[in-house]
Chains A and B, each alone.
Chain A
Amino acid sequence: MRLTCPHCGDRDLREFTYKGDALALLRPDETANPQEWVDYVHNRDNPAGTTSELWYHGPCGSWLVAVRDTTTHVTHRTLSLAEAGK
């Protein structure tokens, strides 16, 4: 498998570490209620289809979001966290 690092470009999978659902970027506000926090930290969907995943490119320190299809392994696109935040 290969992924595109937003800084380095197309690279072999072994350079990357999977870091869970990209939901982790949507950190609730300080004032959020406990359920929102529990959803943020613990609850994840496990779809057969498109997911947004966080990956870490250790060699350069870039985090990225990979939008992938779990059924076909096709990576539709990868984004830097700055791009993902927009």
Chain B
Amino acid sequence: MAKLIARPATDGLLPIEIGKAILEDAQPQAITWVAPFNRKKSAVSKTLGGFPGPGEVVEVKAGRALSVGPGQAMILGAPLDCEGAAVADQSDAWTVVALEGAAARDVLARVTPLDLRDAVFPEGGTARTLVGHMTASLTRVGPFRFEIMVFRSMTQTLIHELERAMKHVDARTKL
């Protein structure tokens, strides 16, 4: 019988390194959306090993839990199920890329209206925002490393927007 072959969304498109920024694939093993039902938040939090409040990233048993909406988290890591919550596998719905380097924040400033200053968006911060015209989830995972999630179908547009910004930021250093 024929076999199904899995293909990553960024297949052949990454990494891209321009100047002081590198864009690479950062797809986790699984992405699970978890939304506790009414009055189940603490039980769910207990099961998972934590639950992020608005703008928070929390390390939980299965991996890293990002706050993605009111009462909703996206857990990047191992697949999971959870009593008391709506759970949906979103592993294939999102493309996760990482932008890293001294120029990463300048690159992002060209595509997102989000305030990326340390005081507002510190390491460990996450936000639902826009990247170009796309709704996105942005997480600061290191001092110079950001993870960006957009819908899988928009992967090429995401890479195009970021690559254009990376080129512009780098070109300024040559002025």
Residues from chain A with a CB closer than 8 A to the CB of B70 are 6-7, 60-62, 80
Least distance between B134 CB and chain A CB atoms (Å): 9
Whether A58 pairs with B135 at a CB distance below 8 angstroms is yes
B90–chain A nearest beta-carbon distance, Å? 14
Q: How large is the interface on B (under 10, 10 to 19, 20 to 34, 35 or more residues)?
A: 10 to 19
Say which one of B11-19, B20-28, B125-133, B139-147 lies at the interface with A. Answer: B125-133
Q: What's the A-B contact tally at a CB cutoff of 8 Å?
A: 39
Q: For the complex, give the distance between the alpha carbons of A12 and B68 in Å.
A: 18
The distance in angstroms between the C-alpha atoms of A7 and B68, with both chains bound, is 9
Report the minimum CB–CB distance from A53 to chain B (whole Å).
19
A12–B114 alpha-carbon span in the complex (Å): 8
Q: Is A59 an interface residue when CB atoms closer than 8 A count as contact? A: yes
Contact residues of A between 1 and 43, Cβ < 8 Å to B: 6-12, 14-15
Look across to chain A and name the residue whose beta carbon is closest to the beta carbon of B53: A7
Q: Which of chain A's residues have a CB closer than 8 A to the CB of B115? A: 10
What band does the interface of chain A fall in when counting residues whose beta carbon is under 8 Å from B? 10 to 19
Q: Is B69 an interface residue (CB 8 A)?
A: yes
Q: A7-B69, A60-B70, A62-B70 are in contact. List 9 more A-B contacts (CB 8 A).
A: A8-B127, A8-B128, A14-B113, A14-B130, A15-B129, A58-B135, A59-B136, A60-B68, A60-B128
Give 19 CB contacts A-B under 8 Å.
Answer: A7-B54, A7-B69, A8-B54, A8-B55, A8-B127, A8-B128, A8-B129, A9-B55, A11-B114, A12-B113, A12-B114, A14-B113, A14-B130, A15-B113, A15-B130, A58-B135, A59-B129, A59-B136, A61-B69
